[in-house]
Structure 1
Amino acid sequence: MPLTARQRSIHNKNGAKRATSFSKGKRKATEGEFLVTNAPSDLRSIAYPGGAVALGLLLTARIVSAYWGHVADCDETYNYWEPLHYLVYGSGLQTWEYSPVYAIRSYMPLWLFAVPAKILAWFMTPVSVFYSLRVLLAVLSACAELMFYKAICHEFGVHVGRVWLAMTLPAAGMFASSSAMLPSAWSSALCSAALACWWRRRYPTAIFLTAASTLLSWPFTALLGVPIAIDMVLMKGQIVDFLKWSIISLIVILVPTILVDSWHYGRLVVAPWNIVAYNIFTEHGPDLYGVEPWTYYFVNGFLNFNIVWVLALSSPVYLVACTAMTSRSTARAMFCAPYCDRH
């Protein structure tokens, strides 16, 4: 399909440069095709937040959560802050999950925070250490979201990235999770970073981050690594690389975890397996404290992301409608590039 006059003028203005929203190396657009990231430089500089601006916005929103957000989950208090207090100060309450009888919680991720907390405890009060750790969590979450934002811009275009940034900054769910001392919050950051690396074709790092989320944080997030596995094994045929980096990640993460947990519990413990076995392969399963109905996911999604959740649920309908109304010869950029004219 020939380019419009506006598209040709944009090509001339950019001097047929390579489309680089964050990194170089992407091929140039050819006749009949317009790259979504090749926006005019003047418009990009005005309306496109760069990495530094995006990081500043994310840090502001997440650090606000660290200082003014409250601890809303009893599990966060008794399953993570209490044992962390024990590791740092030598005293703390113990829940049944940390009993050697069950041993379904790992001490390994707690030590990752206990080490800096011990250093801070030399010259800070316990309350100051508490807020410092929440700020650390917020900063790590912001960095993971920045990686996610850059990857979206690189893979889907700056317009999609800009919309995502505008939606995630005020989201109540991200405000609550970014500074929470909870495995689900850690997995949110780790999986965001893993997807970002996958979109940037950094497969070893994507596999390692997915393994870290599974083995150190929340084992059930392994399902989020399935698209990466399908891409590498089925679509690209990189079976050897996938197996190699999966085994390396398993050894690097799981072996120290087993050693640390076995030392704490006084017997051989594989905590990630224990939590899966307890929740799936026991008679009561996860029903010990009751189970919400299936509608909980829809209500919770709306509470955390409001109108964005509604738009996300309706996106398959819009995608089918756009596909039906648009001919196959239409360039992909027509869906993503508002700077292009359609005639």
Structure 2
Amino acid sequence: MTCRKVSIALFCLLAVSRLYLQPRYSLISDCDETFNYWEPLNLLVRGFGKQTWEYSPEYSIRSWAFLLPFYSIIYPLNKFTELESVYNFYITRMALGLLSFIAEFQLHTQIKKSLSHRVANIWILFQIFNPGYFHASVELLPSSVAMILYLFSIKYTLRYLSTNQSASFTKSLTFNFIAGILGWPFVLVLSVPLCIHYVFNHPIIGSIRTAFDCTLMLLIVSVIVIGTDSAFYGKFAPVSWNILFYNVLNASEEAGPNIFGVEPWYYYPLNLALNFPLPVLFFSVIGIFHIRLWPLWLSYITWFTVFILQPHKEERFLYPIYGLISLSAAIGFSKLLTFSKLFKVLKKILKLITMTVIILQAVSRIVALITNYTAPLDTFSELYGIGPQGEKNIEVINVCTGREWYHFPSSFHLPDGYRLQFIKSGFDGLLPGNFKESVPLLETVRTIPEGMNNLNLFDPNKIIELDECTYIVDMVQHANSDVDVFDPVKEMESGAWKPLFCNHIIDVDHSKILGRAFYVPEKIASFIERKIGKFWNSVYGVQFVDYCLFERAEVSPEEPSSIPL
């Protein structure tokens, strides 16, 4: 099979993944995505949603400009069609997947020109079978959008390193400016090595002219983004600067990101071992010795080093370098195949074994994430099959959650007239509040909400009484009666609440680490257990619990029906 035919097959597979599989089946891996991005987007489209302290005008460290492109896509669909609102969620994910597909297609073309067709195809293969990228590329997060936009930046970096053209250098920085100002300011660091390369390889006059062009592009992007956010907040709101100030300049043990938890240095190496097949990580180390691309590798190493030194660590912080890891790995694997002195037959066997391991590990991880953690998406969607739909001015129906608050997917999963509310649980941090409703949008955005703080201090006004709930979503497990007001097991036994719909979610406390992280078909798992039962049972084992939508027993609406997605 020729490289061209391989490319066509890979892009067909990539399109299916980015435009269907990921939007439909990928999990929400971080509640920050839900409450800081899906909820404000729901406010823009439907007029309600949960509000975090970051969106208080007092702090203004989240950008409304970031959400406007997605709003412009789904608002017309809501205005001129009668699609159920849950489809906004999937259409937005498809838009992200499409943007990623375009970026990957263009970068593949540039890799083919700058390096080789084989390296380009290997890179696409590594992108497809990349568990981390599988969910990251359709997440509504600045780090995810920055990851995608940085692929465009890499494209022009490769072109610049191949041609030494200043125009390609400027375009590379421009895409990173958009990623940094519109999305996540820290990604601007990724362009520093490229700037160093430019300064040392061009005369002073040319560098000054290019610096002027880049500065102009930075000012244009900044004016548009800051102007948009300032118009929303009703005051000067440089969100990127506010993020930098909060996370770096004003960070301490009592304030800043560290109050939300810290992790040891090896958190990121272990995380990469889950999100990338192990051979890819090995090849990635080899690839950084391709010296001609040293500005990219220095960006890669600098990013990893800076974030590994930060006490507060999250998986999404590494998203921007995912494309670089795959590129370095593709180059490394290609070099091994090129310089290997093995016989042609042995080389083919090595390639087959390597590809098989990569694909199996990636698929195992992806299936585990889908099987173990996506129950909330379908469970909340079941509300669309319950009660009156499309009626105006109906009484607000409260859908409550307690200890499972962080698994709520989005208000797009709630029909019109339904609202998410919190009940008392063991969580003692600051829960999101509610955006003001039935007032003009700008008044809602500019109103300083009560009970907000940036110290994660609990506010009792964010919760309601159990009697005010019509529905509750929870796992069918005994709760801690000292702190949780709702125990699903006891409530079902007493007949006070009944489950309307249930799905399986992993029981983290009673599942082993490999079982939580990877999927092994039952027959294969049983075979391994018979051979090495004691060791296997100590590292692999998955238990599930029911994740249910509960209704008060005395309420009897029509039975719910599943909605096709």
**CA displacement at 1:159 relative to structure 2:** 2.0
1:323 match: none
**SS at 1:200's partner residue?**
helix
The answer to whether structure 1 residue 120 and structure 2 residue 77 are counterparts is: yes
Contact kept in structure 1, 2:37 and 2:67, CA below 8 Å: yes
Contact 1:191 1:213 in 2 (8 A): yes
Distance 2:70 2:239 in 1: 18
State the distance in 1 between where 2:283 and 2:246 align: 33
- Matched length: 285
* Structure 1 range deviating more: 156-165 or 308-317: 308-317
The answer to whether 1:305 aligns with 2:276 is yes
- Tell me the equivalent position of 2:262: 291
SS in 2 for 1:108: coil
Change (3 A) 1:155 1:313: closer
Contact 1:55 1:143 in 2 (8 A): no
Output one character per residue of 1:188-247: Cα deviation in whole Å (capped at 9) or x when no partner: 111111011121232232121010011011111111112321232222344134312322
Q: In 1, are the aligned partners of 2:10 and 2:121 still within 8 Å (CA)?
A: no
Whole-angstrom distance in 2 between the partners of 1:224 and 1:318: 18
Kindly provide the CA deviation profile for residues 131-155 of structure 1, in whole angstroms up to 9, marking residues without a partner as x. Answer: 1111111010111111222222221
Deviation per residue, 1:267-318 (Å, 9 max, x gap): 1110000000100111424212012111011011111102145314642798
Shift of the 313–92 alpha-carbon distance from structure 1 to 2, 3 Å rule, reads same
* 1:65-80 correspondence runs (5 A): 65-80=22-37
Residue 211 of structure 2 is matched in structure 1 by 243
In 2: Cα distance, 1:75 partner to 1:209 partner: 25
SS state at 1:71 partner: coil
Shift of 1:67: 1.0
Identical counterparts, % of pairs = 30
> Is 2:48 the partner of 1:88?
no
Match of 1:164 in 2: 123
Aligned to 2:245: 277
- Matched with 1:57 is 13
CA distance in 1 between partners of 2:102 and 2:280 (Å): 23
Q: 1:132 matched to which residue of 2? A: 91
Where relative contact order (Cα < 8 A, 6+ residues apart) is larger, the structure is: 1
CA contact (8 A) 1:167 1:308 kept: no
Task: Kindly indicate which of the two structures has a greater share of residues assigned to strand.
Answer: 2
Native 8 Å contact 2:3 2:118 kept in 1: no
Give 1:328's aligned residue: none
C-alpha displacement at 1:80, in angstroms? Answer: 0.2
The residue type equivalent to 1:126 in the other structure is S
Amino acid aligned to 1:76: E
C-alpha distance in structure 1 between counterparts of 2:151 and 2:195, whole Å: 16
Separation in structure 1 between the aligned mates of residue 246 and residue 98 of structure 2, nearest angstrom: 33
Say whether the 8 Å CA contact 1:193–1:209 is kept in structure 2. yes
Alpha-carbon distance change, 225 to 86 in structure 1, aligned in 2, over 3 angstroms:
same
Alignment counterpart, residue 194 of structure 1, candidates 153, 171, 177: 153
Q: What is the CA–CA distance in structure 1 between the aligned matches of 2:130 and 2:243, rounded to whole Å?
A: 30
Could you tell me which of 216, 220, 230 is aligned with 2:196?
230
The structure-2 alpha-carbon separation of the partners of 1:242 and 1:303, relative to structure 1 and needing over 3 Å to count, comes to: farther
Moved more, 91-100 or 302-311: 302-311
Larger Rg: 2
Shift of 1:248: 2.1
| Corresponding residue SS for 2:277 | helix
Q: Could you tell me which amino acid in structure 1 is paired with residue 180 of structure 2? A: T
**For residues 102-160 of structure 1, what are the alpha-carbon distances to aligned partners after superposition, in whole Å with 9 as ceiling and x for unaligned?**
11111101011111111111212211121111111101011111122222222121222
Q: Does 1:261 align with 2:229?
A: yes
| Structure 2: distance between partners of 1:258 and 1:47 | 45
Q: How far apart are the structure 2 equivalents of 1:162 and 1:61?
A: 16
Q: Hey, what does 1:6 align to over in structure 2?
A: none
Aligned residue in 2 for 1:20: none
Instruction: Judge which range, 152-161 or 206-215, deviates more.
Output: 152-161
Deviations 1:71-103 (A, max 9, x none): 121011000000001111121111001111111
TM-score where L is the length of structure 2: 0.47
The question of whether the paired residues in 2 share the 8 Å contact of 1:157 and 1:336 is answered with no
Residue type of the partner of 1:303? L
3-state SS of paired residue (2:51): coil
Change beyond 3 A, Cα 1:241–1:57: farther
SS at match of 2:237: coil
What residue in structure 2 maps to residue 32 of structure 1? none
- 2:111 maps to what in 1? 152
Could you tell me the TM-score, scaled by structure 1's length? 0.76
C-alpha distance in structure 2 between counterparts of 1:74 and 1:162, whole Å:
35
Which amino acid letter does the alignment assign opposite residue 162 of structure 1? N
Contact 1:153/1:161, CA 8 A, preserved across alignment: yes
Q: C-alpha root-mean-square deviation of aligned residues, in Å? A: 2.6
Between Structure 1 and Structure 2, which shows a larger proportion of helix residues?
1
SS of the counterpart of 1:109?
Answer: coil
Provide, for residues 303-341 of structure 1, a one-character-per-residue CA deviation record: whole Å limited to 9, x for no partner: 110214531464279879xxxxxxxxxxxxx95884999
SS in 1 for 2:58: coil
Q: Secondary structure at the match of 1:75?
A: helix
* Residues 222, 101 of structure 1: alpha-carbon distance in 2 compared, 3 angstrom cutoff: same
CA separation in 1, counterparts of 2:134 and 2:219? 34
Superimposed CA distance per residue, residues 44-90 of structure 1 (whole angstroms, 9 cap, x where no aligned partner)? x6134576554323211212111111212101100000000111112
Distance 2:288 2:112 in 1: 24
User: Structure 2 counterpart of 1:226, which letter?
Assistant: V
